[in-house]
Structure 1
């Protein structure tokens, strides 16, 4: 089926997608993954397909969720990749009934740099291999589901769309109860980022039951103009006897689906714990309905992985990541010193920048790899969106493709070839384009600027880029060279009067003049009075920032407020900001007056406790948590070397249980615990219960951490706990993973449940004190 044909169907009716495969096959006695079952018991996959279709599914998923090369390599099946994907599609297509086949692609289970080691290109190549086979085999659509990071999802989207412009494409993120993904993306961010892209539908699945997922889905529906899809779990799993079950009955599930239909869902299915009975009830409730009409909000905003900046309030864009006139920054770029860039970026954010302008200077001397790494590190670690000031077209495209969010692009003149090339990149990869109010020559008058603005709007309309994807630079020229600043002010006022946003480079006004701060501050105040939306400026200049704040107050325009996650403890601030040099100096000062154990117990551990509290309360997200842990870990290592042998603070054994190859959560916990001063013994993933028990017996740890991502492997936790009891190993067990909740973890015999990565520190502290 062609893409436009499926789109037409969805204008008239809501489609019913099938339900779970992994948990349902497990309930039927299978212990392997669905991808393995495709090879060993294809008839079981076909039978389940048929049951879902008979229950009312209009579309079924191929059993290829984990069938990407990276994921398959973790269970030794990479060489079977092509066979699994082809066979899975053919099994689905062998159903005699008239049903749509959706090719299913799930994530790799690995985090991107700088949170992990995966690069955009590794993701892209991995997903393209699977997508190309699915499309060759003739699926009707492709669904990207259960992704937890927006960059990995973007890579999967690009991989599919570069193969086929004609395949119907659905993109999903998986949200936690706090309304954010693992790496901090919220539904608004997801909406504005993927509304720019050439996907047909967006939505969410997994991790949450229908009641918990609904408010997150409703938030997404308010801000996206795409079609909507949804697949909640059948509630949180519980242990009944020796079996893991899901509590939401088909009847209860179907009642909730009525609310999803009202919120605008076009395709409705179910995820973990569901079965054909759930599908039958869903079909009964919403299967005959047409979609509801909905109006979505448009917001003028840019974003990074865990931040959204809305231009309805005045936006400060930090200018200091530009090597012009900055020898130290130029040298850092030459040396490919990403950490120096991060330090400079964070300093600007600490002084009030809401976004950062990134310029690499002489781009031909800078490697693409460094550009990509710098943009990724700044995006994830500094937690503000970026303005990409990259002039070379090929370099700009390279970075835009890999940007984890919705960027600002700086900039294009209103000259046809230049504007169309850059606007086309914005249209393809997403973002907002800064458009200069000038053509071939630098304009002196407001009238010249106005003509350029009108021409740019005409060109944008011609290529299908809407005006809410443009922000105009009214052109600031140096008054020291005789330019008239009032022409810029007229342009700002005009842009505001016709509903267009504006941004300029403030420092240009005072170039070559003395007392630049005063000139910059005064001109910014005048510009704000005339309706300026944002400025690329120096947030560290107190005079300029003071003028800005006063001007916004007097004009009754509020500014974006960014909560500073800082405290009175300077060690905490150093850890949160990744200021490694300052932290190590502070530790050196402590070493001169306190013994090492005291430094750990009274200074470093309390800092990590506070970091854990901030993460648990949603004030920082995973990227900032990992940065804090990596920074603190170096301080712990330094101090621990001074502690006499035999005085270590304690061991922590951690493993992902047998049959489970997912280790994102396990790796994060290991990093956090190590950063709190414990010796971590990480056994890896897919670890036999016997090996875990043997290690506990040998190492005598303070606690054991067990991770189970899949419902099928959760019972292994009980296997380990029971095995430890038989050997009289009285060591507390903390369990975590997407398949678990507190009730299930306790039913499986764990002493503690890790809801978040920082819970391990909290419980370790509790155990040691008792």
Structure 2
């Protein structure tokens, strides 16, 4: 089916998508991953498809959720990828009886660079391969489900679109109870970023029940004009008589259908824990409704994975990642010295920059891969939205394609040829565009600027790009060269009155003049009064920053400063760890070691600092990418100090494993990283680990605690099996468990002593026990 045909159907009525496969197949006696069931028990897959269709599903999912080669390799099935995909699609077709078939693609289960090993191209090639097979087999749509990271999902979208412009495409992100994805993206950010991309529908599935997922879905709906899809779980799982149950029954689940419909849902389904009875209840409630159509709220904003630079608030864009006149920084970029660039970026953010303008100077001498890695490192590790000040079109395309969010592209003249290329770029890869209020020559008057602005707006409209994706540079000319700033101020005022956003390169006003700081500050005050939205400037200039803050207050606004700082006596150490500046941290630790014993440095300084950082994470002051960066940096300090220990002072051990039958290890790996950074000797047994191997490790390593991870509901009982075998062996050891399939109640029912909702919970649990207890 062509995408326009499906769009027409969805414009006329709300469709019902089927329910869970993994949990339902397990309940029916097929506990293996669906891809393996496809090969070994295809009749079970067909029967479940048929049951969902009889229950009222208008669309069914192919059993290819985990059929990407990265995921299949964890089960030793990568060589059978083509057979799995072809069989899964054929089974769905044989059962469909006229129902739509959605080719299902899930994530790889691997974290993105720089917090993990996977780069954009790794994701892209992986998804292109599986999508190619699904498209060749023939489906009505492709749905990208249960993704936890915005860059991985973007890579999947672009991979599908490179293969087909005709397939209807749905993109889902999964959120936790704090309304954040695993790597820190909130629903508004998700909606803004994927509004720009060539997807037909966006939505949310898994991890939460209908009550918890509703406000997240409503927020996505508020900011997105795409069609919308929602698939909640049947609540948080609980254990009854040794079996996993989901507490939200079919009728209670269907109660929320009205709310999802009111939030503009076009497709409603169900996820983990559901079965055909849920589909029947949803179908009955949905009936023959038409979808609600309301325009989304328009926002002028660009993003990183974890933050939004909203131009309705004044945005300070740090200017110092620019090697112009700075030979040392240019050399660092040539040499691929990431640490040097990150140091500049960190300093700009700590001084008050909400976003960062990234310029690579003489680009022909800078590796394009380094450009992309640098931009993504800043975006993930600092959480700072980026303005891409890249002159080479090819390099800009390379970096923008791989950017994890909605970047600001800086910039384009209102020249027909140049603006066309830049508009096509953001249309393909998303983002906002800075348009210079000039055509061929330098504008001397307000009228010149106005003419360029109006031309750019018309061109953008012809490309289907809304004004909310444009920011206009009002063009500051050097006052020292005789230019009048009044023409620039007129343009800013015109843009403000027209409901448009403006930006200026502040330091241009004072070029070649003495007392530049004061001139910059004075002009900025005048520009803010005229309605300026943002400025590319140096936030370390206190004259300018103080004038900005005063000007905003006098104009009824305020300056949002989100500077990540520690608290109390560990303040300096916390800041060093958060900055990622390893050398500075180790130098600081050297100074501590001159005055204190190694063990005291760990107990009185490093551990308390990591406690503060853990608390910042718990309070959402930082997110997973920043936590992992801090952990990786702190671990170097712990290793340095621990190398000075005598044997009797060796670190306490912690054994961790993903249970038998489960190959998911993102959460386990994060916990291991955080615990190492907290000074523990972590023994990681890997994934798919049998109880016997875990017990052997406990006996040989003598840890203070055991950590067990289970991502899938079907493997959660393996936790209980492992704990029972420990008891049979006479082993008394605290056990902490975690994973997407678990919660506090289920952990207790499985026999665990502690439940870790996130990595920092494991650190807290270890504090509550004593070695040998």
For the aligned residue pairs, the C-alpha RMSD in angstroms reads: 1.1
Query: SS of 1:646's equivalent?
Result: helix
Tell me the distance in 2 between the aligned counterparts of 1:296 and 1:387: 25
Which residue of the other structure, out of 573, 590, 593, is the alignment partner of 1:591?
A: 593
Which residue of the other structure, out of 632, 640, 644, is the alignment partner of 1:638?
A: 640
Question: Structure 1: which 5+ residue stretches go unaligned?
Answer: none
Query: Are the equivalent residues in 2 in contact too, given 1:567–1:573 (CA < 8 A)?
Result: no
Q: Is 1:304 paired with 2:301?
A: no
Tell me the distance in 2 between the aligned counterparts of 1:321 and 1:176: 34
Greater Cα shift, 535-544 or 340-349: 340-349
Instruction: After TM superposition, give the deviation of residue 607 of structure 1 in Å.
Output: 1.2
Greater Cα shift, 643-652 or 100-109: 643-652
Query: Are the equivalent residues in 1 in contact too, given 2:56–2:280 (CA < 8 A)?
Result: yes
Which residue of the other structure, out of 666, 671, 680, is the alignment partner of 1:664?
A: 666
Tell me the distance in 1 between the aligned counterparts of 2:465 and 2:293: 24
Query: Are the equivalent residues in 2 in contact too, given 1:192–1:224 (CA < 8 A)?
Result: yes
Instruction: After TM superposition, give the deviation of residue 458 of structure 1 in Å.
Output: 2.0
Matches within 5 A, 1:239-638: 239-562=239-562, 564-568=564-568, 569=570, 570-638=572-640
Which residue of the other structure, out of 694, 697, 702, is the alignment partner of 1:695?
A: 697
Tell me the distance in 2 between the aligned counterparts of 1:768 and 1:374: 43
Tell me the distance in 2 between the aligned counterparts of 1:363 and 1:33: 48
Query: Are the equivalent residues in 2 in contact too, given 1:62–1:88 (CA < 8 A)?
Result: yes
1:303-346 CA-partner distances (Å, limit 9, x unpaired) = 00000111011110000000101122112101111122111111
TM-score, structure 2 length as denominator?
0.98
1:162-197 CA-partner distances (Å, limit 9, x unpaired) = 111110000000000000001000000001000111
Report the counterpart of residue 647 of structure 1 in structure 2: 649
Report the counterpart of residue 733 of structure 2 in structure 1: 731
Query: Are the equivalent residues in 1 in contact too, given 2:146–2:172 (CA < 8 A)?
Result: yes
Query: Are the equivalent residues in 1 in contact too, given 2:566–2:612 (CA < 8 A)?
Result: no
Report the counterpart of residue 11 of structure 2 in structure 1: 11
Query: SS of 1:767's equivalent?
Result: coil
Instruction: After TM superposition, give the deviation of residue 153 of structure 1 in Å.
Output: 0.3
TM-score, structure 1 length as denominator?
0.99
Matches within 5 A, 1:22-421: 22-95=22-95, 97-421=97-421
Query: SS of 2:265's equivalent?
Result: coil
1:440-493 CA-partner distances (Å, limit 9, x unpaired) = 111112221121112212222222222221111111111222222222112112
Query: SS of 2:713's equivalent?
Result: coil
Query: Are the equivalent residues in 2 in contact too, given 1:35–1:66 (CA < 8 A)?
Result: yes
Q: Is 1:761 paired with 2:735?
A: no
Instruction: After TM superposition, give the deviation of residue 563 of structure 1 in Å.
Output: 5.1
Instruction: After TM superposition, give the deviation of residue 649 of structure 1 in Å.
Output: 2.6
Instruction: Tell me how many residue pairs correspond in the alignment.
Output: 770
Instruction: After TM superposition, give the deviation of residue 403 of structure 1 in Å.
Output: 0.5
1:351-390 CA-partner distances (Å, limit 9, x unpaired) = 1101000001111111121011101101001111000001
Report the counterpart of residue 750 of structure 1 in structure 2: 752
Instruction: After TM superposition, give the deviation of residue 398 of structure 1 in Å.
Output: 0.7
Query: SS of 1:592's equivalent?
Result: helix
Runs of 4+ aligned structure 1 residues displaced above 6 Å come to none
Query: SS of 2:166's equivalent?
Result: coil
Tell me the distance in 2 between the aligned counterparts of 1:565 and 1:173: 30
Query: Are the equivalent residues in 1 in contact too, given 2:350–2:563 (CA < 8 A)?
Result: no
Tell me the distance in 2 between the aligned counterparts of 1:452 and 1:642: 66
Query: Are the equivalent residues in 2 in contact too, given 1:565–1:619 (CA < 8 A)?
Result: no
Tell me the distance in 1 between the aligned counterparts of 2:554 and 2:211: 45
Query: SS of 2:155's equivalent?
Result: helix
Greater Cα shift, 555-564 or 440-449: 555-564
Question: Structure 2: which 5+ residue stretches go unaligned?
Answer: none
Greater Cα shift, 237-246 or 18-27: 237-246
Tell me the distance in 2 between the aligned counterparts of 1:317 and 1:426: 20
Query: Are the equivalent residues in 2 in contact too, given 1:380–1:623 (CA < 8 A)?
Result: yes
Query: Are the equivalent residues in 2 in contact too, given 1:651–1:703 (CA < 8 A)?
Result: yes
Query: Are the equivalent residues in 2 in contact too, given 1:177–1:212 (CA < 8 A)?
Result: yes
Tell me the distance in 1 between the aligned counterparts of 2:433 and 2:414: 12
Query: SS of 1:318's equivalent?
Result: strand
1:639-659 CA-partner distances (Å, limit 9, x unpaired) = 111110132130010111111
Instruction: After TM superposition, give the deviation of residue 96 of structure 1 in Å.
Output: 5.2
Greater Cα shift, 286-295 or 178-187: 286-295
Instruction: After TM superposition, give the deviation of residue 740 of structure 1 in Å.
Output: 0.5
Query: Are the equivalent residues in 1 in contact too, given 2:351–2:563 (CA < 8 A)?
Result: no
Tell me the distance in 2 between the aligned counterparts of 1:563 and 1:369: 29
Tell me the distance in 2 between the aligned counterparts of 1:96 and 1:488: 63
Query: SS of 2:595's equivalent?
Result: coil
